[in-house]
C-alpha cells in the first residue's frame, strides 16, 4: 500500500538508463502525450537538494549538465550511497512529494538501483511499469559522455545492468531508430489507457 493515501497515481513509469542514453529526452516526449495530468519525478533531485544543503553548494547548478555538477558528482554519489544504506527508500519518498492529486501519471526519470525498483514495486505494485532506455556507447560519447572511472562503473550507473525483465525496452540511438522510439511511446501511452478502461470496467460491475 502506498505511504500517502492522498496520492493515488493511475500509472507509474519507472525509467532507467545510463548517462547520455537519452532518458530525459524520452521521458519529456512521454509527458507531452499526457499533458498536465502527468509529472516527471527525478530521484536525483532530492539527493542533490539535500547534498547541496549539507555541503553549502548551489543546488540549481547541480541540476544543470555543467562542469559544476561534474566536479561534485563522485562525492555526491558516495554520499547518496551512504544515505541509501541507512534508508533504501529515502530519496524515493522525497521525490514523490512533488506529485499532486491531479497528477495521475507519474514518470520516474532516473531509477538507478534495484532498491528504487523495489520501492515502487512494494508501494505501487499495480501501477508500476519499468522502462529501460539504451543507446550505443559511441552514440552516448557523441552526445557528450566522458567515460569516467569511479562513476561509469559505480552502482549509480551499473546497479540495474542485469535487472530483468523490463516491461518495455527502448533503443534511443536516433536516426533510423526514431520510428522504434515512437512505437514504444505509443505502447507506453496505451498502457495508461488500458488501466483507465480496467478501472472503468471495475466500477461498472
Per the annotation, where are the binding residues? 18-24, 143, 172, 184
**Alpha-carbon distances of 89 from 27, 38, 52, 116, 181, rounded to whole Å:** 22, 22, 20, 7, 31
Residues 112 and 159 sit within 8 Å (Cβ to Cβ): yes
- Measured CA to CA, the distance from residue 28 to residue 39 in angstroms comes to 10
Residues that constitute the known binding site for ATP: 18-24, 143, 184
Alpha helices in 2-111 (DSSP H): 23-34, 44-55, 59-63, 67-86, 90-96
Nearest-CA neighbor of 15 among 117, 161, 95?
117
Give exposure, 180-203, as e/b (b: 16+ Cβ within 10 Å): ebeebbeebeeebeebeeeeeeee
Helix (H, G, I), strand (E, B) or coil at 55: helix
Residues that constitute the known binding site for substrate: 172
Cell numbers 478502461 correspond to 197
Three-state SS annotation for 141-166: HHCCCCCCCCCCCCHHHHCCCCCCCC
Amino acid at each position: 500500500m502506498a505511504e500517502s493515501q492522498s496520492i493515488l497515481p493511475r500509472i507509474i513509469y519507472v525509467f532507467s538508463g545510463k548517462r547520455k542514453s537519452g532518458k530525459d529526452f524520452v521521458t519529456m516526449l512521454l509527458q507531452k502525450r499526457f499533458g498536465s495530468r502527468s509529472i516527471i519525478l527525478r530521484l536525483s533531485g532530492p539527493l542533490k537538494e539535500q547534498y547541496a544543503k549539507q555541503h553549502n553548494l548551489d543546488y540549481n547548478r547541480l541540476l544543470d549538465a555543467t562542469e559544476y555538477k561534474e566536479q561534485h558528482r563522485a562525492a555526491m554519489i558516495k554520499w547518496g550511497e551512504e544515505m541509501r544504506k541507512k534508508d533504501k527508500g529515502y530519496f524515493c519518498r522525497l521525490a514523490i512529494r512533488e506529485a499532486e492529486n491531479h497528477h495521475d501519471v507519474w514518470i520516474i526519470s532516473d531509477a538507478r538501483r534495484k532498491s528504487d525498483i523495489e520501492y515502487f514495486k512494494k508501494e505501487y505494485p499495480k501501477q508500476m511499469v519499468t522502462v529501460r532506455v539504451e543507446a550505443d556507447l559511441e552514440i552516448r560519447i557523441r552526445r557528450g559522455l566522458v567515460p569516467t572511472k569511479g562513476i561509469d562503473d559505480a552502482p549509480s550507473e551499473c546497479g540495474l545492468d542485469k535487472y530483468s525483465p523490463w516491461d518495455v525496452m527502448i533503443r534511443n540511438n536516433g536516426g533510423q531508430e526514431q520510428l522504434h522510439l515512437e512505437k514504444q511511446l505509443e505502447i507506453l501511452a496505451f498502457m495508461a489507457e488500458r488501466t483507465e478502461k480496467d478501472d472503468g470496467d471495475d466500477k461498472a460491475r
